[in-house]
Amino acid sequence: MKVLVVDDEAPFLDLLKRYLALWEHDCATADSGQKALELLQSETFDLILMDIFLPDIKGYDLIPIIRKQRPDIDVITMTGYNSRELESTVRQQDILFYMIKPFEAGQLKEILEHLSKKKVVAAM
């Protein structure tokens, strides 16, 4: 799968990029919502793995913009600042998963494996 990871924390971006490469997924990264939108205009992705609190826009405000460009793309959100209100707001945006940081790499790997299998079956 081709994954776009959007997060403003450089060490976390680097870590996810290394894991995704290890798990044989193509990966591009963006450290802001604007950069993510620019990448979405020039490249095709199967999945966006996105932090909710970006420096230029909240992830839950970015999702509807992304949906206008790519209504078919899967979105997984991540946050280190969870609350019930935030989770409720984000889940209303038709996301695939809501992940709370820090999370185990194995948890993300299982989700990606499931998505990969689902996409293979859908392509048949």
- Where does 13-123 show beta strands of DSSP type E? 26-30, 47-51, 74-79, 97-100
Instruction: Provide the pLDDT for residue 32.
Output: 98
Whichever domain contains 63, its CATH number is: 3.40.50.2300
Q: Which domain holds residue 72?
A: 2-123
Condensed to tens digits (0 to 9), the pLDDT of residues 76-118 reads 999 999 999 999 999 999 899 999 999 999 999 999 999 988 8
Task: Please give the average per-residue pLDDT across 60-77, as a whole number.
Answer: 95
Higher pLDDT, 120 or 78: 78
Q: Is the pLDDT of residue 121 over 80?
A: no
b/e burial code for range 9-36 (CB count within 10 A of at least 16 → b): eeebbeebbebbeebebebbbbbbbebb
- The pLDDT confidence band at residue 15, using thresholds 50, 70 and 90, is very high
Can you give the pTM of this predicted structure?
0.94
Rounded-to-integer distance, Cα 1 and Cα 39, Å: 16
Question: Closest Cα to residue 70, out of 42, 51, 28?
Answer: 42
Question: How many domains does one find in the chain?
Answer: 1
Condensed to tens digits (0 to 9), the pLDDT of residues 34-59 reads 999 999 999 999 999 999 999 999 99
Instruction: Provide the pLDDT for residue 8.
Output: 97
Q: Is the pLDDT of residue 24 over 80?
A: yes
Instruction: Provide the pLDDT for residue 84.
Output: 95
- The pLDDT confidence band at residue 124, using thresholds 50, 70 and 90, is low
